[in-house]
Structure 1
Amino acid sequence: MALRNPLLQLSRRAPAQISAQFSPVASAFAPQRRWNADVAPPVAQNATGSKGPTAIVFMNMGGPSTVDEVKSFLSNLFADADLIPLGRLQNYIGPYIANRRTPKIQKQYAEIGGGSPIRKWSEHQAAEMCKILDKTSPETAPHKPYVAFRYAAPLTEEMYQQLIADGFGAGKGGRAVAFTQYPQYSCSTTGSSLNELWKWRTRLEGKRTTGEVEPEGTIKWSVIDRWPVHSGLVEAFATNIEKTLATYPPEKRDNVILLFSAHSLPMTVVNRGDPYPAEVAATVYAVMQRLGMKHQYRLVWQSQVGPQPWLGAQTSNTVENLIKKGQTDMILIPIAFTSDHIETLYELDKEIIGESGQEGIKRAESLNGNPIFIQALADIAKDHLEAGQACSLQMGLRCPGCVSERCLESKKFFAGQQKHL
């Protein structure tokens, strides 16, 4: 039951040294069904709080909403050295790979219906969360939702320009919170998004723009950079698992194996000291504690590509091996994702589960519009605003093997925002 991942095919054509460096986004090229990316309406406000207004910016990788967006999505993705480091060849190899893959990926999207639901869910989650915040944190109201994707519209640059157009920054001041939608921190995901945010803040509001030591009236940023064991997140995962368990006959229910699946990382990234594996494991253990440790479980990893070692065991291999041993009742849980996208809808549903031929292999529903999850987002944001912290203490510590100067400067900037809050 081998995965037909487009990047795996690509790695056979590209030089080995390039394919060996691919970061964990390979399955971002798999097809999805079509979803409309409706823009979330602004939240109506009656008054401004003593510390408001506050912009809440949801950060995520994003995905093409239509077939026509596939090329730009791939081009942005392969240009990101934080995610896919190609060294001195980045500017040449990146566009080459993107152009080569675009026609096939477009056909795959068209075959399924085209479009990713990640924008739809991100805008819905952000808007609903802000409605709750307006009631629970009136002093920082009105809370205005924004979405900043790394590789698809709305891009970070577009989001920042919209912030300025809406009256934040550019001499007018204002407060904004960068809220990562990766619960577990990785330099390849949250780190890359924050580096991009820092870049555009510098270009649009920084010293290059005005020539001042520190321009007056810039946006005051803070960061929610990780939340792997928040009680609301844990509860949302646990309730979705319990709903799926309830679909099994009572005589089989207790023997269902829970497979928590997260996007893998190359071992070069793991060995550099990336905190992601440990934080994902922390989420899994917290969920199992909430479930009373009543089921056998494992943390497994999906989307490995290329010939170099990746963090395992792989989800697909684990499912295959369990089937060979006679175990055909298991639930796959996407533990590192906050909404449906290609890793859930295509890789898990169509490849791993669909090709298994086993009715007892199911997937827990993604968080999507789960009201428990949206309340958790509001609680996390409220606690962050009340704490008055620019970022977590952990964010300021670089990976032991990190040599990125951009990462260093980005971390310095966001940690340095503490004096402005």
Structure 2
Amino acid sequence: MIMTRPADHPEIPEEKIGVLLANLGTPDGTDYWSMRRYLNEFLSDQRVIDYPKWKWQPLLQLIILSKRPFSSGAAYRSIWNNELDESPLMTISRAQKEAIAANIADRFGDRVVVDLCMRYGNPSTKERVKALIAQGCRKILFLPLYPHYAGATSATANDQFFRVLMQEKWQPTARIVPPYFDEPTYIDALAQSVERRFADMETPPDMLVCSYHGVPKRYLMEGDPYHCQCQKTTRLLKERLGIDEDRICTTFQSQFGPEDWLRPYTVDHVADLAREGKKRIAVIAPAFSADCIETLEEINEEIRESFEEAGGEEFTYIPCLNDDPAHIAALSEVIATNLRGWIE
């Protein structure tokens, strides 16, 4: 017996699989109110700042958000993509999505849909999850674009993804891509970016500084694996490059607030290196999948200035992997691996 749907039955699109890439986020503009909205969402996240709300919110709303949008807006203006009127993170993330979508289409045809969301700001996780479901995605693979797991990055992106699913009448089946910090293809992509940059230099640098975004040291003591995963990435990169132990180091940047954070701090350590006679250094940021305010402004301006003021002579910033073909291939391979059992 053939069953037919009633005439008023909702339309059911052809079933597909969604892949949702997620990055941190970006303000919509550099003006005060755009910055305030973005910073409020970001700094109100208790995965990022886990102080009790009764203690943190008055400080945030009355003091921090009355001042910081001005300084953050100025920092963003120094790197803003004026042609497209958006942050470099947005420009690069879109390019990554398009390149990954092309790679995945070559493998699986139109059965897999690749999309992009941001944890904070736009395009929001809610908007893009709903868009995937509307396209018929009954399975969604969620990929936080952080090689290393941290509560303040991967976990909060996952939280938001699941919060959105909680609002759906018919939830799609969901998978989360685990951290890929030690995947050989990712390490090789990092190494290739270093090798290309070193090949352009007359003299190799005295030190390769691997600068990772910092977190409070307390998080490590509470079980967050981020510090250990960063250390392993540096070790694997050293082994892949075949350089000596004393020519590569791990540091942490972007400290915020009064707590002790993971050390050594990049901004201080590069100055120490200069004073120790290491006058030529290169800095790479393996924890960032795309160049953003922390790399283009903090590393390439503030940290560079710290090195040079301490007597450093040659500072080289090695860009993030961005939409480099080796990076796209590595991410696409991670996606294909995690789609096993759903599609072959």
* TM-score, length-scaled by structure 2: 0.86
Shift of 1:233: 1.0
Displacement of 1:73 in angstroms is 0.7
Q: Which amino acid aligns with 1:339?
A: A
Shift of 1:268: 1.2
Q: Deviations over 1:280-328 (max 9, x none)?
A: 1121111111111346111111112333211101111111111111111
Give 1:101 deviation, angstroms.
Answer: 2.2
- How far apart are the structure 2 equivalents of 1:359 and 1:66? 35
Relative to structure 1, the CA distance from residue 134 to residue 157 in structure 2 (aligned partners, 3 Å threshold; closer, same or farther) is: same
Contact 1:259 1:299 in 2 (8 A): yes
Q: Pairwise mapping of residues 93-242 of structure 1 onto structure 2 (< 5 A)?
A: 93-96=59-62, 97-110=64-77, 112-113=79-80, 115-138=86-109, 141-168=110-137, 174-205=138-169, 217-242=170-195
Tell me by how many angstroms 1:84 deviates.
1.1
CA contact (8 A) 1:79 1:95 kept: no
Partner Cα distance (1:73, 1:230) in 2: 32
The unaligned stretches of length 5 or more in structure 1 are 1-50, 169-173, 206-216, 390-421
> SS state of the match for residue 257, structure 2?
coil
Within 5 Å, give how 1:4-403 maps onto structure 2: 53-68=16-31, 69-89=34-54, 90-96=56-62, 97-110=64-77, 112-113=79-80, 115-138=86-109, 141-168=110-137, 174-205=138-169, 217-249=170-202, 252-253=203-204, 256-294=206-244, 296-357=247-308, 358-386=312-340
Structure 1 counterpart of 2:111, one-letter code: P
Q: Is the 8 A contact 1:86 1:93 kept in 2?
A: no
Q: Tell me the CA shift for residue 126 of structure 1.
A: 1.8
> Which one is further off, 368-377 or 289-298?
289-298
Q: Deviations over 1:257-294 (max 9, x none)?
A: 11101011111111001011111112111111111134
Q: Distance in 2 between matches of 1:366 and 1:292?
A: 21
Q: Which has the higher strand share?
A: 2
- C-alpha distance in 1 between matches for 2:336 and 2:129: 22
Which amino acid in structure 2 is aligned with residue 162 of structure 1? A
Residues 16-47 of structure 1: per-residue CA shift (max 9 Å, x gap): xxxxxxxxxxxxxxxxxxxxxxxxxxxxxxxx
Distance 1:112 1:220 in 2: 39
RMSD between superposed Cα atoms in Å: 2.2
SS of the residue 2:295 aligns to: helix
| Shift in CA distance, 125/308, structure 1 to aligned 2, threshold 3 Å | same
Q: Which moved more, 1:270-279 or 1:144-153?
A: 144-153
- Cα 1:280/1:82, change in 2 over 3 Å: same
In the alignment, residue 305 of structure 1 is paired with which amino acid? Answer: F
Secondary structure at the residue paired with 1:363?
strand
How many residue pairs get aligned? The number is 318
Asked if structure 2 preserves the Cα contact closer than 8 Å seen for 1:123 and 1:146, the reply is: no
Helix, strand or coil at the partner of 1:119: helix
CA contact (8 A) 2:144 2:177 kept: yes
Alpha-carbon distance in 2 for matches of 1:178, 1:112: 29
Structure 1 Cα separation of the partners of residues 219 and 60 of structure 2: 20
**Partner of 2:340: helix, strand, or coil?**
helix
SS of the residue aligned with 2:321?
A: coil
> What is the CA distance between 1:55 and its match in structure 2?
1.1
Contact 1:58 1:146 in 2 (8 A): yes
| Residues 111 and 233 of structure 1: CA distance in aligned 2, closer, same or farther (over 3 Å) | closer
SS at match of 2:282: strand
Q: TM-score, normalised by structure 1?
A: 0.71
Report what 2:6 is aligned to.
none
**CA pair 339-88 structure 1, distance change in 2 beyond 3 A:** closer
**CA drift at 1:355:** 4.6
Q: CA deviation at 1:112?
A: 4.9
